[in-house]
Amino acid sequence: MENRTARHVLFYGCCLLFLCSHAYTQENKDIAAEGVKFLQEYLKIDTTNPPGNEMRAAVFLQQIANRENIPNRIYDLGNNRANFLAVLKGDGSKKGVVLLHHMDVVPAEEKYWKVHPFSGAIVDGEIYGRGALDIKGKGIIDLMTMIHYQRQRIPLSRDIIFLAVADEENNSLGSKWMIENEPGIFKNVEFLIDEGACALFDKTGKTIAYFFSLGEKSPLWLTITFKGEPGHGSVPLENSAVNRAIRAAHKILAYQSELQVLPDIEESLMMCLATRECEKMPGFSNNLSESLRSQLFLETIAKDPELAALLKNTIAITCLQGSDKINTISNEAKISLDCRLLPGVDKERFMQKLMAIMDDHTAEIKIEEYIPTTKSPRDTVFVNALTQCARAREAGVKVIPVILPSSTDASFYRLLGIHCYGFESYRIREEDSALCHGNNERVSVENIKFGIEFLTDILAEMAK
């Protein structure tokens, strides 16, 4: 007991020293430089999904972990797909924390890029490559933070679990596989830090806020099938399956979902609106907070698709399928819908409403994918640690929770009772957030340095 107490005193002393001084030691400079080189190499590995081919990335990460004597394992998922796990054991006094990222990336069209999207080239202090922000950069920051703890032999109260998964950009094969086949890994885990949000700064260099996500809208992917009499294209049929599908689609497009401001997005919504001339908008009264209670004001700001996605259940018609021959009227036609539901919305009631809107007795609905809406609490050790570390750097800076309009793998792990948050240890320009899935995706060299130090601080604060 005395030895454990002594270790804890030493550990907390080191943590306090680290938090009080943000100047890098030589070791920190070295580890940041290594992180930049590793990210360059990581970005050169083409893990475009489909097909993914994450095995090469898993082997690359394992080679780094092996050099540092960090226990690890590759999970072979078949078809050159894989997950990678590395673990630093704590003393068991606190439950573990998972640092999660995905190895796959979305496609990139080289002709629209300044450099090759899988070059990892550094231009003007920024590392270019598909996945730099989404989300291989976070993966390297996570891994180098773990390496820092390993090299310094810092005692841990929590297990630190580094998890790199396959297929997040498509069907989340990697996370689903881990939860189904290796549930024991997550039994003693309290927190999971995934992608989702980060610190943003404006054109003057001033930090806008540190954002973190505590939940996502629920994805509900539907296929609606319509039936009608078949025939030859030369004799149009008013109630053909395709016509029924088109009429139903038109009704869906005309439907206006109810607008509402969830408590967990109000602060971030007000910040988004702060730079706009809201006082000139219909429905504005006295101040933003009061105006957000006005339906007219909500209808006005909802004309912005990005804001609308935060205020309502959304329905996007993504596919329309009829005959595969131009002169044939088919028996069936289908439309595909990507629906995203706000937290607390019951999917059965939503689908009943959808069927009533379409008002077609031939319509048959099929759920292709559904992940229940999940949300983590705002007052936890992680949120408090993030807030403390952010304000240690910038006194009084805002730390703001958000709900993501899209989904991440965190939604699967919340169902296990784990507190999951989306936070990438970056500090980026506001406009650079659009680089994910875009052309010339990049992250600054300075961000890798910042990210390792900041995540190290957060984990140290969580250990107290």
Q: What is the 3-state secondary structure (H, E, C) of the chain?
A: CHHHHHHHHHHHHHHHHHHHCCCCCHHHHHHHHHHHHHHHHHHHCCCECCCCCCHHHHHHHHHHHHHCCCCEEEEEEECCEEEEEEEECCCCCCCEEEEEEECCECCCCHHHCCCCCCCCCEECCEEECCCHHHHHHHHHHHHHHHHHHHHHCCCCCCCEEEEEECCCCCCCHHHHHHHHHCHHHHCCEEEEEECCCCEEECCCCCEEEEEEEEEECEEEEEEEEEECCCEECCCCCCCCHHHHHHHHHHHHHHCCCCCCCCHHHHHHHHHHHCCCCHHHCCCCCCCHHHHCCCHHHHHHHCCCHHHHHHHCCEEEEEEEECCCCCCEECCEEEEEEEEEECCCCCHHHHHHHHHHHHCCCCCEEEEEEECCCEECCCCCHHHHHHHHHHHHHCCCCCEEEEEECCCCCHHHHHCCCCEEEECCCCEEEHHHHHHCCCCCCEEEHHHHHHHHHHHHHHHHHHCC
Position of tokens 């690890």? Answer: 72
- The reply to whether 287 and 210 lie within a common domain is no
- The reply to whether 171 and 22 lie within a common domain is yes
- The reply to whether 212 and 228 lie within a common domain is no
- The reply to whether 378 and 366 lie within a common domain is no
pLDDT of residue 341: 95
pLDDT of residue 438: 95
Domain's final residue, options 341, 370, 399: 370
Q: What's the CATH code of the domain at 195? A: 3.40.630.10
- The reply to whether 12 and 90 lie within a common domain is yes
- The reply to whether 202 and 224 lie within a common domain is no
Does the CA dihedral 97-69-142-85 come out positive or negative?
negative
pLDDT of residue 433: 82
Q: What's the CATH code of the domain at 234? A: 3.30.70.360
Domain's final residue, options 338, 370, 402: 370
- The reply to whether 198 and 72 lie within a common domain is yes
- Total count of domains within the chain: 2
- The reply to whether 57 and 91 lie within a common domain is yes
- Residue 294 CB neighbours (<10 A): 15
- The reply to whether 458 and 417 lie within a common domain is yes
Domain's final residue, options 350, 370, 390: 370
The length of the chain is 464
- The tens-digit pLDDT sequence of the chain (464 residues) is 434 444 343 333 443 334 434 444 666 779 999 999 999 999 999 999 999 999 999 999 999 999 999 999 999 999 999 999 999 999 999 999 999 999 999 999 999 999 999 999 999 999 999 999 999 999 999 999 999 999 999 999 999 999 999 999 999 999 999 999 999 999 999 999 999 999 999 889 999 999 999 999 999 999 999 999 999 999 999 999 999 999 999 999 999 999 999 988 899 899 889 878 999 999 999 899 999 999 999 999 999 999 999 999 999 999 999 999 999 999 999 999 999 999 889 999 999 999 999 999 999 999 999 998 789 999 999 999 999 999 999 999 999 999 999 889 999 999 999 999 999 999 999 888 889 999 999 999 999 999 999 999 999 999 99
Amino acid occupying residue 392: A
- The reply to whether 115 and 154 lie within a common domain is yes
CA–CA distances in Å: residue 10 to residues 5, 77, 380: 9, 42, 25
- The reply to whether 395 and 301 lie within a common domain is no
The answer to whether 395 touches 256, Cβ cutoff 8 Å, is no
Residue 105's contacts (CB-CB under 8 Å, 6 or more residues apart) are 47, 48, 49, 130, 131, 134, 136, 169
Residue 9's contacts (CB-CB under 8 Å, 6 or more residues apart) are none
- Residue 287 CB neighbours (<10 A): 11
- The reply to whether 265 and 382 lie within a common domain is no
Residue 353's contacts (CB-CB under 8 Å, 6 or more residues apart) are none
Range of the domain at 169: 2-216+374-462
Position of tokens 């590759």? Answer: 74
